[in-house]
Structure 1
Amino acid sequence: MELGKRLDRPVVLVGLMGVGKSTVGRRLAKRLGLSFVDSDSAIEDAAGYSPAEMFERFGEKDFRDGERRLVARLVEGDVRIIATGGGAYVDPSTRQLLNERAITVWLDAPVDVLAERTSRRDTRAQLRNGDPKCTLEKLSKERRPSYEKAHIHVKSGEGAHKEVVEAIIEALEKHLSQRS
C-alpha cells in the first residue's frame, strides 16, 4: 500500500497475449490499493464489440487507432494499474505516450507458456488461423524490440502470479528510487 501512495502516474503492463497482464494487473492493483482497468474490457464497454470482433470487422489499422485513443484517456485519469492489449505498445505513438505519462512494465514469458495459456480460450483473433504457437513465435520476434523499450522488464513463466506481482513491486521500488 505504501508504494501505491508514492506512485505519481499509472503503471501500464505490456507484453504478448497470454502473459498474464490482466490477472497479474488485478492482483498488483489490489496489493497496492489502486484501481485496475483492462484496456480490452474498456474497448468492449465503449464499442460494444470484443477486441477480437473489432479486429475482424474493422481490421487492425482501425482497431489500433481506436485502441490508441482509449489508452490515451486511460493514462490521463487516476494513478492506477492498466493492462493493455498485446499490440498496443507496439504502436509508436501509443508507446511514446505510455513511456512519457506512465511507468511501463513489460511482462515477458516463454512462447511455450503463452501457447499453453492462450489455448484455453478462443478469444484471440490473431490465433484463430494457422498454428497458434507459430503465430506467437512470430509476434514475439516482431514485438520484442518494442517491448524492450518499457521502463521495467519482468520475466514471467509457469510460476505463481503472486511471484510476478512481487517481482513487479520490487522493480517499481527500484525504478522510483532511480527517478528521485
Structure 2
Amino acid sequence: MTQPIFLVGPMGAGKSTIGKLLAAQLGLPFADSDKVLEDRTGADIPWIFDVEGEAGFRRRESEVLAELCNGETQVVATGGGIVLMPENRTLLKGQGFVVYLRASLDQLVERTSKNSNRPLLQVEDPRAKLAEILQQREAFYAEVADLVCDTDHCTPKQAAQMVADRLQGEDVG
C-alpha cells in the first residue's frame, strides 16, 4: 500500500475512532484532518465556524486536505463535510483509497448526542439536521468511495478489522 487511506462519512460514523484503530492495525501513521486544522489555526472548529462561518471553515478544510494528499501512506480521518467541495472529491479519488464509513441515522444521532463540539448540530432538532446532512452528502460519499463499510452493528475494533481485511484483499497501491 503506497497511498493514503481516507475515511469519509457523516459525523458520528466513527472516522476518528476507527481510523486510529485501523492505522495501528496496519502499522501506519494516523491523521485527523479536523485536528490538523485546529493545530494549524490554533483555534477549535466551533470558534472557526463562529468567526469565519461555514464557508471559511470549508476553505481551511480544503487546504488541510491538499496538504494531507502528500503521497504519504497513512490513515486519514476526514471531516464529515469534506465531500461537499468538488475539488475535494477529485483530490480524494485521485490521491488515495477512500473508505466510506456508513451508519444509520439512529446510530448517528446516538453517537453525536453527547458531543457539543459539532457546530452544525447546535440546533433545536439535531436529528432533523443530521437527516438533512445525510440526504445532502450521501451521494458524494458513495461517489468517492472505493470501499463502503457499514458501522451500525459492530464495535469500532470490529469495523477497523473489517476494513483492514478488505484492504488487504484489495489492490491498494
TM (norm. structure 1) is 0.91
What is the aligned partner in structure 1 of residue 74 from structure 2?
Answer: 80
2:86 matches 1:107: no
Range moving further from structure 2, 166-175 or 137-146 = 166-175
C-alpha deviation, 1:61, in angstroms:
1.3
C-alpha deviation, 1:51, in angstroms:
1.6
What is the aligned partner in structure 2 of residue 160 from structure 1?
Answer: 155
C-alpha deviation, 1:130, in angstroms:
2.0
123, 126, 144: which one pairs with 2:117? Answer: 123
Alignment length (residue pairs): 172
Structure 1 contact 113–158 (Cα < 8 Å) conserved? no
- In structure 2, stretches of 5+ residues that fail to align are none
Secondary structure at the aligned position of 2:152 is classed as coil
Task: State the distance in 1 between where 2:30 and 2:38 align.
Answer: 16
Structure 1 contact 28–165 (Cα < 8 Å) conserved? yes
Which of structure 1's runs of 4+ aligned residues deviate more than 4 A? Answer: none
Task: Give 2:78's aligned amino acid.
Answer: T
C-alpha deviation, 1:174, in angstroms:
3.5
C-alpha deviation, 1:77, in angstroms:
4.8
Shift of the 122–75 alpha-carbon distance from structure 1 to 2, 3 Å rule, reads: same
2:44 matches 1:50: yes
C-alpha deviation, 1:158, in angstroms:
4.3
Task: State the distance in 2 between where 1:80 and 1:175 align.
Answer: 16
- In structure 1, stretches of 5+ residues that fail to align are 1-6
140, 143, 146: which one pairs with 1:151? Answer: 146
Deviations 1:52-92 (A, max 9, x none): 22122101111111110111101205210000110012211
Deviations 1:122-142 (A, max 9, x none): 110000012111111111111
Task: State the distance in 2 between where 1:93 and 1:51 align.
Answer: 21
CA RMSD of aligned residues (A): 1.3
Q: Which has the higher contact order (CA 8 A, sep 6+)?
A: 2
Secondary structure at the aligned position of 2:31 is classed as strand
Task: State the distance in 1 between where 2:164 and 2:87 align.
Answer: 27
